Amino acid sequence: MTALYFVTLAILVAAAFLIGRHRAQSLIAGGAPSLHSLPSYHGMLPMAAVLVAMLLTFVIGSNIVARYAQSSSLAMLGAETVADPLKRSAGFRDIQNIAIGKHSGDVPMLLKEAAEQFASASTFGNWMVYGLGTLLGLFAMGYFISRISPVYRARNIFETFILVVMGICATVAILTTIGIVFSVLFETYRFFFDPSLKGRPTVSQFLFGTEWNPQAALRADQGDIKTAFGFVPLLTGTLLITAIAMIVAGPLGLFSAIYLAEYATPRFRAWVKPILEVLAGIPTVVLGFFAALTVAPLIRGWGEAYGLSVASESALAAGLVMGMMIIPFISSLSDDVINSVPQSLRDGAYALGATKSETIKNVILPAALPGIVSAFMLAISRAIGETMIVVMAAGLAANLTANPLEAVTTITVQIKTILVGDQEFDSAKTLAAFALGFVLFVVTLILNIIALQVVRRYREQYD
């Protein structure tokens, strides 16, 4: 049914374009005064009209049909079933399975009748949608084709249509973001303020607590709620690992970008840049076990040789590998930015007798600063959001420490730990994940705002 609908849609769309364009072309051939719009616009306008009419009919129509089929079939099972949500969904599952012939065993008469009602209602409804869609499509096509004339402003109308489509796309993207923020915000609110939730912390216990032990909140009589949801060790763990990663990736990435953009021969650059970018394509799971199985034991071995006590899962191992992961972000983006600094600025500096390094230091890097800062910000965001490497290499122990040789844990890792497996969504422990997510979001936002200010303060704008 759906397939037939879309085949018809495709045929009508093609027909609308061809007929519309042909009509406009024959106007020219018939010696009409010059057309306002090109023939292809006269084709594209009916095409767009058919597309919109038929897609809207399908989306709205099939929704109505599905609801109608569901309610009419459920009604046959009696008022009691309809009223109880659990029974209702179970009954409807049965009806659907019988209707597509997947139900095994004996089928009660009542259910069978309901399934027949469901099937016939669906079929009838779908044919209605098909008929209506085709009719509307033909009508839309006919309307716009009949209006084709030399003075008809098909181009302007079509361009307005494209403008609206793009506006809708942008709106969808923004609304999605807002939706995510609000759903996280709502659950976070529940975590802190829902009176029916047992074992919830206060905001200050969460933000300033120095112990993280969410298992304690499983039952009210277990552990101490006051110390269950202390967020501080997670934040310090996250910042510690991110800092190590940036210490590794910042200089390596930036210097390799400068080398690639300013010193390397074009041939060398053409070879090396794709190889560096491959590094960004390695799945973080692979990097994670590289960190856990290769780097962490290595660090432990070195540490012991110098008489240091190193945890087998350390922040250092996770940070180092995470640094490797984000090198390509910094190097590749910075390289692009440095390359886009106009050659005329380099020429100007060289002509004053500046050496290559003076030119790079005083002219090129300041001009490229905004782009370089955004490359760093992207890298930091990646590092803060990274989960897999930390799970494998840095562990789950929420230690409040600045020692990179100890095991730490991060916000994302705890979110993952809390939500893995079967969870009920009305316990404080589960809702803590939303609170963590929200705080993570705020932290990243603050970092972004700081970076934006830095850029605005120091940018040297060229044009």
Partner 1 sequence: MDMSQQTLTPEKAVTQQVPTSAKVVARDVNVYYGEKHALKDVSINIPDKSVTAFIGPSGCGKSTFLRCINRMNDTIPSCRVKGTITIDAQDIYDPALDVVQLRARVGMVFQKPNPFPKSIYENVAYGPRIHGMSRSKADLDQIVESSLRKASLWEEVKNRLQESGTALSGGQQQRLCIARAIAVSPDIILMDEPCSALDPIATAKIEELIDELSQNFCIIIVTHSMQQAARVSKRTAFFHLGLLLEEGETNEMFTNPTNEKTQAYITGRFG
Q: Rule CB under 8 A: is residue 350 a binding residue for partner 1?
A: yes
Within 8 A by CB and 6+ apart from 324, the residues are 248, 249, 279, 287
Q: Which of 30, 344, 420, 422 binds partner 1 (CB under 8 A)?
A: 344
Q: Which of 247, 345, 405, 452 binds partner 1 (CB under 8 A)?
A: 345
Least Å from the CB of residue 160 to partner 1 = 37
Complex with partner 1: residue 226 or 361, whichever CB lies closer: 361
Measure Cα distances from 148 to 34, 54, 145, 189 in Å: 13, 21, 5, 57
Complex with partner 1: residue 258 or 418, whichever CB lies closer: 258
Q: Rule CB under 8 A: is residue 463 a binding residue for partner 1?
A: yes
Considering only the stretches 72-80, 306-314, 419-427, 454-462, report the one whose residues sit in contact with partner 1 under the rule CB under 8 A: 454-462
Considering only the stretches 149-157, 210-218, 343-351, 440-448, report the one whose residues sit in contact with partner 1 under the rule CB under 8 A: 343-351
**8 A C-beta contact, residue 281 and residue 355:** no
**8 A C-beta contact, residue 238 and residue 259:** no
The residues facing 229 across adjacent strands are 212
Q: Rule CB under 8 A: is residue 362 a binding residue for partner 1?
A: yes
Q: Rule CB under 8 A: is residue 303 a binding residue for partner 1?
A: no
Q: Which of 63, 89, 222, 355 binds partner 1 (CB under 8 A)?
A: 355
Alpha helices (runs of H) in 283-342, residue ranges in sequence order = 284-290, 296-305, 315-339
Q: Which of 358, 423, 442, 450 binds partner 1 (CB under 8 A)?
A: 358
**What's the token pair of residue 51?**
């597309």
| C-alpha Rg value of the chain to the nearest Å | 32
C-alpha closest to that of 393 among 378, 401, 379, 404: 404
Q: Rule CB under 8 A: is residue 349 a binding residue for partner 1?
A: yes
Least Å from the CB of residue 370 to partner 1 = 11
Considering only the stretches 169-177, 293-301, 345-353, 434-442, report the one whose residues sit in contact with partner 1 under the rule CB under 8 A: 345-353
Q: Which string of x and - marks every residue 263-292 that binds partner 1 (by CB under 8 A)? A: --x---------------------------
Q: Which of 42, 200, 273, 346 binds partner 1 (CB under 8 A)?
A: 346
Question: How far is it, in rounded angstroms, from Cα 351 to Cα 363?
Answer: 13
Within 8 A by CB and 6+ apart from 125, the residues are 61, 62, 64, 65, 68, 69
Least Å from the CB of residue 353 to partner 1 = 4
**What's the token pair of residue 205?**
């216990």
**What's the token pair of residue 141?**
């096509």
Say which DSSP state 35 is in.
P
**What's the token pair of residue 458?**
């120091």
Q: Which of 52, 185, 247, 354 binds partner 1 (CB under 8 A)?
A: 354
Least Å from the CB of residue 266 to partner 1 = 8
Q: What contacts 24+ positions apart, CB below 8 Å, involve 158-161?
A: 158/37, 158/41, 158/44, 158/45, 158/48, 161/45, 161/48
Q: Which string of x and - marks every residue 62-81 that binds partner 1 (by CB under 8 A)? A: --------------------
Least Å from the CB of residue 11 to partner 1 = 55
Complex with partner 1: residue 30 or 353, whichever CB lies closer: 353
Q: How far is CA 249 from the centre of its chain?
A: 24
Complex with partner 1: residue 251 or 348, whichever CB lies closer: 348
Backbone angles phi, psi at 229, to 5 degrees: -115, 55
**What's the token pair of residue 80?**
């009691």
Q: How far is CA 46 from the centre of its chain?
A: 35
Considering only the stretches 10-18, 48-56, 346-354, 379-387, report the one whose residues sit in contact with partner 1 under the rule CB under 8 A: 346-354
Considering only the stretches 144-152, 348-356, 373-381, 433-441, report the one whose residues sit in contact with partner 1 under the rule CB under 8 A: 348-356
Question: How far is it, in rounded angstroms, from Cα 209 to Cα 211?
Answer: 6
Complex with partner 1: residue 364 or 383, whichever CB lies closer: 364
Complex with partner 1: residue 160 or 355, whichever CB lies closer: 355
Considering only the stretches 28-36, 351-359, 402-410, 419-427, report the one whose residues sit in contact with partner 1 under the rule CB under 8 A: 351-359
Q: Which of 342, 402, 442, 458 binds partner 1 (CB under 8 A)?
A: 342
Complex with partner 1: residue 196 or 344, whichever CB lies closer: 344
Within 8 A by CB and 6+ apart from 410, the residues are 234, 237, 238, 241, 384, 387, 390, 394
Backbone angles phi, psi at 396, to 5 degrees: -120, -5
- Footprint of partner 1 on this chain (CB under 8 A)? 265, 342, 344-355, 358, 362-363, 366-367, 460-463
